[in-house]
Amino acid sequence: MYKVIIKLPYTIEKRKDISFLLSSLSIVVALTVSILAAAGMISLYGEDVGIVLKAIAGGSFGSMSALIDTLIKATPILLTGLATVVAFRAKVWNIGQEGQLYAGAMGATFVILTFPDLNLPPVVHIPLLLFASMITGAIWGGIPGYLKARYNVNEIIVTVMLNYVIQYLCTFLLNGPWQEPGSYYYNTVKFPESSFLPLLFDTRLHIGFLIALITAFMVYFLTWKMKLGFEIRARGDNPVAANYKGINIQRVTLITMLLSGAIAGLAGGVEILGIHHKLIWGFSSGFGFTGILICLLGRSHPLGVVIASIFFGALHNGSSAMQIYSDVPRSFVNLIMGLIIVMMLFWEAVFKYRLRRI
Amino acid sequence: MNSEVDKPLLTVDNLSKSFGQFIANDQICFDVIKGHIHCLLGENGAGKSTLANCIYGASKPDSGRIVFKGQEVSFSSPKDAIRQGIGMVHQHFVLSEPMNAVENIIVGEESTGTILNLQNDTEKIQNLCDQYDLTFDLSLPVSQLSVGEQQWIEILKALYVGVDLLLLDEPTAVLTPQEVERLFAVISKMAAGGISVILITHKLDEVLDISNSVTVLRKAQAIITVDTGNSTKASLAKLLVGREFDFKVNKVEVDRGAPVLEIKNLSVLRDNKTLAVNRVSLTVHEGEILGLAGVSGNGQSELFDALVGVRQTENGSIRLAEDEITNCSPAEISNKGMASVPQDRLKQGLIGNFSVKENLILGAHSNPPFCSRGVLNWKTIMDFSKEAINNFDIRTIGPEQKVEQLSGGNLQKVILAREISHPIKTLIASSPTRGLDINASFYLYIRFLEQLKLKAGILLISEDLDELFNIADRIAVIYNGSILGEYCIEDATIEKIGLLMAGLKEEPEPLVQSDN
C-alpha cells in the first residue's frame, strides 16, 4: 500500500473574530474576481472587454441622467432589501418579499380605483396610498408570520406559496375587474395626477428614492437603538435564551413579519406611483427576490444594503448601454450578478480561515 | 534495559498543541505503564481533553512524539488508534438509542463482515460481561438502560475490539456514587488483566481511590507525575491550583426567615407529554440554600423551566414571597424578584453573538432606566455595564466584546451580574459551577452567600454533591420527578443522598445490585 503524504509548512485554522477591514477586503476580492471572470467571458464571446466595461460604467454612472436612472432602478430593491434585513435579523426566513411587494402595489391601486373621485391634494393623497401599500404588504407578510408564531408553520414554504397566490390574483384582476376598459394589455387606467410621486431636481428621480433612504435610516435605528430591534436580534441569535429572559418570541415573530411585509409593500407602492402611474402586469422584474440578494450582499446591514442596491441598479442600468455598444445580450448582467453573489459567499467563507506557519 | 514489567506501554514526549494563540498543551511528558491506572488530573481548561484527543488520534499534536508499544505512532484519525489498540470513552456517549447493547457494540466493527452473526457476537459479549461482573440485559434498547449501564456499553465496545489502552474522559460526571463504585471495580479488573487505563478527572478523591500514578496538568503544562501512593488530598490540591487551598467555604450563619419560594404539589410535563415533575413540594426560606440533588434527567430541568416560567405547569402552585407566580410569564416572574442561573450558559443564559453590555441588560432591556418609550438608552446601559464588569470582576476587553469569546467562568459572571445586580427574593441556579475551575466556583459561592445576607433564598440544583455539602443548608433529592427525601445538612451523608439519587428509599444492607 502506498500512501503519499505531502507535508506543507502551513496549517489552516479558523479565525476567532473577523475584523471589519478583513470583511471589507473579502468584498473587494470577490468583486475583483467576478469582474475578471466576467471580462474573460466577454472576450470568449468575441467582444472587446474594454468597450463593454466602459459601456456598463458609462451607462450606469457616466452622466447625470445615467446616475439618476441608476438610483431609480435601485429604489425598489433597496426597499425589498431592507424588508429582508428586518426579517433575517430575526432569522425569520421571509422569502415572500415579491408577494408582499405585489400586495403593496395592489393596495394602493385598490384605494385609487375604489375612490376615484377623492380629489385630494398630493400631500394627503400620496401618504394615504403609501400607507395603504404598507398595510396590504403587512397583511401579506402577517399571514405567514401569524402561522409561524401560533402554529410554528414553516415560514419559507408559506411565503413562497403566497407569492404565487398574490401574483395570480393580480393577473386575474388585471385581466378582469381592474383592466382598463378597451385595453388589450393587462393594466389599469392611468392613475390621477395627485397620486404621482413628486420628482426631485427637475429630473426623472422621484421621491421614492428619498423615502427608501429614510426607511434605511429607520431600519438602522430600529435594529440598534430600539427595544424592538434588540428583541428582533435576540430572537435571531438565540431564541431559547431570549425566551428565558422574558422576550415573547411569538410576538416578535409576528411583528417582524408585519414590518418586513410593510416595507416590501411600500416598495410596490413606490414603484407604481413613481414610475408606471398605473398597475401594470409584470411591473416587478423580481424586485422581491433581488432584495434577498441585496440583503446578503449588504451583510444584513442597512448601509450595506444601500450600497448594494445602488450597485445592482447600476449594473441593470449599464446593461442597456452594453447592449447598444456591443453584441453582448442584456441578460449577461444577470450572470455577472450571480457570479458576484457566489464569489461573495465563497470569499466570505475563505476569509474565515487563515494560514499559519507550523 | 528496563524489565518487561516496567516498560512503558505509552510514552508521551514533549507533546504540544495549540489552537491559534491559545496553547492547550505545552511540552507534555509522561509514561503509562502496562496494567497501570494513570490519572490526568487538572482543572477545567488545563488541557486534559486536548491531550487525550491527541493520544486517541482525534486531533493532531503540533509537535512532540507519542510512543505506543515501543513504536512511534502518528494517528490521522481515531480509527488508526483503535486499530493499534487505543480506545476511548467520551464524556458524552455515542450510542444509538433504539438499538440494544450488542448492536451498539458491533456497529462499525471491522471484523463483523457483511452478514451479521448476532448470536455469535452476543455470546462473545456475554463472556466479556461475565469476566467483568457486568450484569445487565444485552437485548434491551439503550434508551431503557441507566446512564451507568450505557457507559458499560462504551467500555465493552473497547474491550470487544481488544484495546491495550483505554482513555476515560471524566467518566464519573454523570454517575451516582454507587455507580462510580461499580465503574471503579470494572476499571481495576481491567488493569489487573493487563490493560492500561488513562482516567481524566478533576476530582481528587477519584485519583486517590483508584490510580497508580497521576500526572497533574495546570495551565497546559504537565506540572509533575507522581505515584498516587505517596500523595494526599492536600498535596494534590496544592499541585492542582498552585497554592494552598481551603476546602471549606466560610459560611456565616444567617437566620432562616420567612418562606420566599413555596412549591406545592407541582407537576410538570416533558415535551412528549409524559410526567417529568411529579407532585413536588419544596420550600426555600430567606437566608438559606436548599440544595436539590439528583442525577441529571430526573426532572430538574423541567422543574427549573416551570419555576422561571418558560414551561406550563400541569397542576400545583408556585409562590414567590407574597406573589402567586404559577404559569406567569418569564418577564413577570423575573420582575417579581426571581433570579435564575440556567444550566446551559450559552444556550439558555446568554446570547453568544451579543456583546457583554447587551447580555447584561437582557430581560431588563424593556424596563427603565435602560429603555424609555421603546428606545434604548445606551449611555445608561454603558455606565451600568462598566460598573457590573468592575463589581463582578468580569475579564473582558470591554462592554462591546461578544460574550461567545469569554471563558466559562466569565460567562457565568455575566449571568450573575445580570441576575443579582438588583434586589431579588429568590435565586434558582442549575449546576452553576459545571465546567468551572475551583477559583471561579468559589467566586460564585461567595456571591451566593452574599445574597443570603441580603435576605434572598437560593434553590441550588446540582449533581455535584461536594458542592451541595459545601454550601447548602438542606438537601432534597429528586428521583424520577419526585422528591424522595430531604435532609438537614447536619443529618445528611454522601451515602444517604447517593442511595436516594439511585432511587432507593430504604437503606439496603449491603448494597443490592439493581438486577439481582
Residue listed under C-alpha cell 455535584: B464
B99 class by beta-carbon count within 10 Å (0-12 exposed, 13-18 middle, 19+ buried) = middle
B340 interaction partners in chain A (CB closer than 8 Å): 244
Q: Which residues on adjacent β-strands are paired with residue B217?
A: B222
**What pLDDT digit, counting tens, does each position of B353-365 carry?**
999 999 999 999 9
Nearest CA in chain B to A243: B310
Nearest Cα to Cα of residue B458 among B302, B347, B319, B292: B292
pLDDT of residue B515: 45
**What pLDDT digit, counting tens, does each position of A214-259 carry?**
999 999 999 999 999 999 999 999 999 999 999 999 999 999 999 9
pLDDT band at B483 (very low <50, low <70, confident <90, very high): very high
Q: What does the block give as the cell for A131? A: 400607507
pLDDT band at B1 (very low <50, low <70, confident <90, very high): very low
Whether residue A241 and residue B375 make contact (CB cut-off 8 A), yes or no, is: no
Mean residue pLDDT of chain A comes to 90
HEC sequence for B122-150:
HHHHHHHHHHCCCCCCCCCEHHHCCHHHH
Q: Which of A244, A250, A259, A354 to mutate to test the interface with B (most CBs of B within 10 A)?
A: A244
Whether pLDDT at B137 is above 60: yes
Which strands make up the sheet holding B474-479, listed edge to edge?
B338-341, B426-430, B457-462, B289-293, B474-479, B482-488
Nearest Cα to Cα of residue A60 among A276, A310, A340, A334: A310
Is the preceding omega at residue B369 within 30 degrees of 0, hence cis?
A: yes
A223 interaction partners in chain B (CB closer than 8 Å): none
**What pLDDT digit, counting tens, does each position of B116-136 carry?**
778 888 888 888 888 888 888
pLDDT band at A164 (very low <50, low <70, confident <90, very high): very high
- Nearest Cα of chain B lies from the Cα of A136 at a distance, in angstroms, of 25
For chain B, how far is it from start to end, CA to CA, in angstroms? 50
Helices (H), B242-375: 300-308, 330-335, 356-361
Distance CA B137, CA B39 (A): 31
Of residues B2 and B285, which shows the higher confidence score?
B285
A40 class by beta-carbon count within 10 Å (0-12 exposed, 13-18 middle, 19+ buried) = exposed
Whether residue B351 and residue A227 make contact (CB cut-off 8 A), yes or no, is: no
B77 has a chain A CB within 8 A of its CB: no
Q: What does the block give as the cell for B268? A: 410538570
Whether residue B329 and residue A248 make contact (CB cut-off 8 A), yes or no, is: yes
B446 has a chain A CB within 8 A of its CB: no
Residue B15 main-chain phi, psi, to 5 deg: -80, 130
Of residues A131 and B249, which shows the higher confidence score?
A131
Spatial contact of B151 and B183, defined as CB atoms under 8 Å apart: yes
Looking at chain B from residue 9 to 68, which residues have their Cβ under 8 Å from any Cβ of chain A?
19-20, 62
A13 interaction partners in chain B (CB closer than 8 Å): 19-20
- Nearest Cα of chain A lies from the Cα of B80 at a distance, in angstroms, of 14
**What pLDDT digit, counting tens, does each position of B301-317 carry?**
899 999 999 999 999 99
Name the architecture of domain B246-337+423-516: 3-Layer(aba) Sandwich (3.40)
Looking at chain B from residue 318 to 347, which residues have their Cβ under 8 Å from any Cβ of chain A?
329-332, 334, 340, 342, 347
Distance CA B389, CA B357 (A): 9
B362 interaction partners in chain A (CB closer than 8 Å): 234, 241-242, 245
Q: What does the block give as the cell for B97? A: 438509542
Whether residue A245 and residue B374 make contact (CB cut-off 8 A), yes or no, is: no
Percent of chain A's residues with pLDDT above 70: 96
Whether pLDDT at A113 is above 80: yes
Pairing of strands B457-462, B474-479: unpaired
Nearest to B348 among A230, A241, A248 (CB): A241
Of residues B501 and B474, which shows the higher confidence score?
B474
Distance CA A242, CA A138 (A): 25
Whether pLDDT at A1 is above 50: no
In sequence order, the 6+-apart residues with CB closer than 8 A to the CB of B258 are B285, B286, B321
B349 has a chain A CB within 8 A of its CB: yes
Whether residue B365 and residue A230 make contact (CB cut-off 8 A), yes or no, is: yes
The DSSP H or E segment spanning A12 is: strand A10-14
pLDDT of residue B297: 75
Whether pLDDT at B255 is above 80: no
Q: Residue ranges of the domains in chain A?
A: 76-297
Distance CA B369, CA B363 (A): 13
The DSSP H or E segment spanning A348 is: helix A332-350
Q: What does the block give as the cell for A30? A: 470577490
Q: What does the block give as the cell for B278? A: 411529579
What is the widest separation between alpha-carbon atoms in chain B?
81
Q: Which residues on adjacent β-strands are paired with residue B457?
A: B426
A243 has a chain B CB within 8 A of its CB: yes
Q: What does the block give as the cell for A107? A: 393596495
Nearest to B374 among A227, A238, A246 (CB): A227
Chain centroid to CA B62: how far?
Answer: 29
pLDDT of residue B510: 45
Mean pLDDT of B372-399: 92
- Nearest Cα of chain B lies from the Cα of A223 at a distance, in angstroms, of 11
Q: What does the block give as the cell for B515? A: 438486577
Whether residue B353 and residue A237 make contact (CB cut-off 8 A), yes or no, is: yes
Whether pLDDT at B2 is above 50: no
CATH class of B8-241: alpha beta
Nearest CA in chain A to B353: A237
pLDDT band at B348 (very low <50, low <70, confident <90, very high): very high
pLDDT band at A134 (very low <50, low <70, confident <90, very high): very high
pLDDT band at B106 (very low <50, low <70, confident <90, very high): confident
Looking at chain A from residue 182 to 221, which residues have their Cβ under 8 Å from any Cβ of chain B?
none
pLDDT band at B512 (very low <50, low <70, confident <90, very high): very low
Mean pLDDT of B444-459: 91
pLDDT of residue A5: 60
Q: What angle do CA B402, B403, B404 make, to 5 degrees?
A: 95
Distance CA B126, CA A90 (A): 53
Distance CA A271, CA A122 (A): 16
Q: Which of A149-153, B66-70, B158-162, B253-257 has the lowest mean pLDDT?
A: B253-257
* Other CB atoms within 10 Å distance of the CB of residue A215: 20
Nearest Cα to Cα of residue A280 among A262, A266, A268: A268
Q: Which residues on adjacent β-strands are paired with residue B459?
A: B290, B428
Spatial contact of A85 and A302, defined as CB atoms under 8 Å apart: yes
pLDDT of residue B17: 87
B358 interaction partners in chain A (CB closer than 8 Å): 230
Spatial contact of B424 and B339, defined as CB atoms under 8 Å apart: yes
Nearest Cα to Cα of residue A191 among A122, A237, A239: A122
Q: Residue ranges of the domains in chain B?
A: 8-241, 246-337+423-516, 352-421
Whether residue B362 and residue A241 make contact (CB cut-off 8 A), yes or no, is: yes
Nearest Cα to Cα of residue B349 among B338, B340, B358: B340
pLDDT band at B514 (very low <50, low <70, confident <90, very high): very low
What percent of the residues of chain B are helix, what percent strand, and what percent coil, each to the nearest 5? 35, 25, 40
Q: Which of B63, B305, B376, B397 to mutate to test the interface with A (most CBs of A within 10 A)?
A: B376
pLDDT band at B21 (very low <50, low <70, confident <90, very high): low
Nearest Cα to Cα of residue B85 among B34, B152, B15, B22: B34
Nearest Cα to Cα of residue B223 among B20, B43, B407: B43
Is the preceding omega at residue B510 within 30 degrees of 0, hence cis?
A: yes
Q: Which of B340, B365, B371, B397 to mutate to test the interface with A (most CBs of A within 10 A)?
A: B365
Mean pLDDT of A143-147: 97
A242 interaction partners in chain B (CB closer than 8 Å): 351, 362
Spatial contact of A188 and A179, defined as CB atoms under 8 Å apart: yes
A248 has a chain B CB within 8 A of its CB: yes
Q: Cα torsion for A169, A172, A173, A177, to the nearest 10°? A: -140
**What pLDDT digit, counting tens, does each position of A253-312 carry?**
999 999 999 999 999 999 999 999 999 998 998 899 999 989 988 889 999 999 999 998
The DSSP H or E segment spanning B88 is: strand B86-89
Q: Is B489 helix (H, G, I), strand (E, B) or coil?
A: coil
pLDDT band at B475 (very low <50, low <70, confident <90, very high): very high
Q: Which of A157-171, B81-95, B419-433, B443-457 has the lowest mean pLDDT?
A: B81-95
- Nearest Cα of chain A lies from the Cα of B102 at a distance, in angstroms, of 33
- Nearest Cα of chain A lies from the Cα of B331 at a distance, in angstroms, of 4
- Nearest Cα of chain A lies from the Cα of B426 at a distance, in angstroms, of 16
Whether residue A245 and residue B330 make contact (CB cut-off 8 A), yes or no, is: yes
The DSSP H or E segment spanning A275 is: none
Nearest to B20 among A16, A231, A358 (CB): A16
Q: What does the block give as the cell for B461? A: 440544583
**What pLDDT digit, counting tens, does each position of B147-173 carry?**
788 888 888 888 888 889 999 988 887
Distance CA A225, CA A209 (A): 24
